[in-house]
Amino acid sequence: MIRQLSEKDDVLAQQLIQQKPAENLFIIGDIEAFGYEQDFQKIWGDFDEKGELRAILLKYEKNYLPFSLGSFDAKGFAEIINNDPNKPMLSGLKDITSQIEPYLKITYKQKREFYYAKCTTSAALPSVDTSEVKQITLEDVERLGEFLTSVPEFVDMEFSPERKKRNLKQGVTRGYYIEKDGDMVATASTTAENSSSAMVVGVATRKDYKQLGLATKCLTKLCHDLLAEQKQLCLFYDNPQAGKIYKQLGFQDIGYWTMYQ
């Protein structure tokens, strides 16, 4: 049986998702930050014959995130997604999303698969000077968006200044950047920060400043600060060269992440 969850179901939800905190980074973070009663966020639970919660489906904005430790009503979750008229997206662990995919009626332009990695120690972080690294503030959000969407790797991203500002205020995201002659040339950010983990995103360098280690400086500063707060860092990547750099910083692969856009 699938039904929408509310605050009174939080204990059950946490018992399920906290069994895999790194894998449930987004779900944990979104529940901590926004709870169960927001217009832009809804959470459904799938209960087995004994009434035990066995799976969760979280909707944040247009994105749907499922999680389960075993079998679940994949068709039921797919029906919820199919009934959303607002161009929904689906993302999550490959072994879970692959169960939902056969029942989806929505045509997706893109299906991407990433390596999923995490970092739990600063032991491998390089000793680099990060004094020129600045932290992103609310006043920097618009130019951050302009910079990221100018980088080839991010040219198709949907950057919402309003959402970025809201998340900065909520403390579920932070970012760092380096500027040259008043222009951003490198950056790294987090998203879905929660009490125990954070996802690294938006690692970018302007083309004419590549190979200078600037993004590594931003990422190193970011990792040091998060790890000092006892938070694990997670990220996904599909570029082997990027993966090599992340592993040099102490990240280790823990699975695969699939995104339907």
Distance, CA of 87 to CA of 64 (rounded, Å): 11
Is the pLDDT at 132 greater than 90, yes or no?
Answer: yes
Nearest CA-CA partner of 191 in 10, 53, 28? 28
Residues 6+ apart with CB under 8 A from 186: 177, 178, 204, 205, 206, 209, 214, 215, 217, 218
Task: Give 240 or 115, the one with higher predicted confidence.
Answer: 115
Pair 220, 130: CB distance under 8 Å = yes
Residue 54: burial class (beta carbons within 10 Å; 0-12, 13-18, 19+): middle
Question: Which domains does the chain carry?
Answer: 2-108 (3.40.630), 118-255 (3.40.630.30)
- pLDDT, mean over the chain: 93
* pLDDT given at position 21: 79
Which residues on neighbouring strands pair with residue 59, listed in sequence order?
A: 42, 64
Distance, CA of 189 to CA of 208 (rounded, Å): 21
pTM for the whole thing?
Answer: 0.74
Pair 83, 67: CB distance under 8 Å = no
Instruction: State mean pLDDT over 157-184.
Output: 92
* pLDDT given at position 257: 94
Distance, CA of 34 to CA of 190 (rounded, Å): 17
| Least confident among 76-90, 131-145, 186-200 | 186-200
* pLDDT given at position 77: 98
**Whole-angstrom distance between the N-terminal and C-terminal Cα of the chain?**
27
| Least confident among 5-9, 153-157, 177-181 | 153-157
Per-residue pLDDT reduced to its tens digit, 7-31: 999 999 999 998 887 789 889 988 9
What share of the chain in percent tops pLDDT 90? 74
Please give the C-alpha separations between residue 184 and each of 5, 89, 164, 170, 219, in angstroms, as whole numbers.
42, 30, 17, 24, 15
Please give the C-alpha separations between residue 121 and each of 21, 103, 167, 202, 249, in angstroms, as whole numbers.
16, 40, 26, 21, 9
* pLDDT given at position 109: 86
Per-residue pLDDT reduced to its tens digit, 73-95: 999 999 999 999 999 999 999 99
* pLDDT given at position 33: 82
Q: And the tokens for 116?
A: 């999923």
Q: From its phi and psi, is residue 90 left (phi > 0), alpha (psi between -120 and 50) or beta? A: beta
